[in-house]
Amino acid sequence: MSNQLQKTMPAPRERKYKKIITILQDFLGSDFSEYTCLDVGCSEGGITNFIADHFGTTIGIDIDKEAVNSAMKNRRSSSTSYSYANGSRLPFSNDVFDVIICAQVYEHTLQKQSLADEIWRTLRPGGVCFFSGPNRLAIMEEHYWLPFLSWFPRTIGNYYMQIFNRGTEYDAYPLFYWQIRKLWQHFIIHDYTTRMITEPKFFAVDDRFGKYSFLKNIPSAILRASTPFYPNYNWILQKPDTNQVHNQSKYNNRYTSV
């Protein structure tokens, strides 16, 4: 990334961008410049604009009209476009995208299965979705930074937030690990989370995992056994290609850790 881009992009967004691209390059190879990408939940396009540098065509969608308007004003390339749309009802034909980004989005909708179904429908056979999202068992809730917030029933969670002046309503809906796996059961799941823990610098997450360097010394088998308790997941979800679709049941719930 050029020095100019580093200066114009906020550090947290830069790290997220680098993480996403590094994982995609690790899985797809270094060049996907001919691919078409959809970024679901693009907000104001802060990450989408930089992801777009790696794709032939990039589309960002969001349900926040003001955010979409802002993204359109700040668009950096003619190959990038933005649209007001709901991830659970994508306004696109079947099998049109090579890559879909669904980063920290699923927990913000009550229509989770519709979101997963729409990503499956619009993704080309053989295409991939980069998915990241929180575990309900995360000790520190990542949106409001209150410990155990997502563990409580909704009414208690709302009261908890009010006590600490974080708002009146807890509006995130994270799932347990097994529920997240079921949500994406039609995809082949390639889990990058353990590798991110053991190789934080490579995946541009050393700011988050660097202080836990001792985890590198824990056998990978033990770390993988702890997967249901990870606070957040980073997966590549692969839609089987046309030669595999006829035997789709073979791939349901298939899981690989890379």
Q: What is the CATH classification number for the domain harbouring 87?
A: 3.40.50.150
pLDDT for residue 10: 47
Closest CA to 236 of 128, 121, 99, 161: 128
Same structural domain for residues 156 and 192?
A: no
pLDDT for residue 224: 84
Look up the domain containing 102 and give its range: 3-138+174-252
Q: In total, how many domains does the chain have?
A: 2
Same structural domain for residues 161 and 200?
A: no
Domain annotation covers residue 107: yes
Same structural domain for residues 158 and 79?
A: no
Domain annotation covers residue 258: no
Same structural domain for residues 217 and 193?
A: yes
Same structural domain for residues 197 and 115?
A: yes
pLDDT for residue 218: 80
Same structural domain for residues 153 and 79?
A: no
Q: Single out the residue in 154, 170, 186 at which a domain terminates.
A: 170
Taking only the tens of pLDDT, the chain with its 258 residues reads 333 333 344 457 788 899 999 999 999 999 999 999 999 999 999 999 999 999 999 999 999 999 999 999 999 888 999 999 999 999 999 999 999 999 999 999 999 999 999 999 999 999 999 999 999 999 999 999 999 999 999 999 999 999 999 999 999 999 999 999 999 999 999 999 999 988 888 998 887 765 556 666 788 788 888 999 999 999 999 999 866 544 443 334 455 666
Same structural domain for residues 66 and 123?
A: yes
pLDDT for residue 13: 76
Same structural domain for residues 134 and 180?
A: yes
Strand order in the sheet with 97-103: 80-84, 57-62, 36-40, 97-103, 123-134, 232-238, 188-191, 255-257
Same structural domain for residues 98 and 43?
A: yes
Same structural domain for residues 132 and 233?
A: yes
> What is the pTM (predicted TM-score) of this model?
0.89
Closest CA to 253 of 153, 183, 205: 183
Same structural domain for residues 117 and 202?
A: yes
Same structural domain for residues 150 and 56?
A: no
Element (H, E) at 238: strand 232-238
Closest CA to 123 of 94, 88, 103: 94
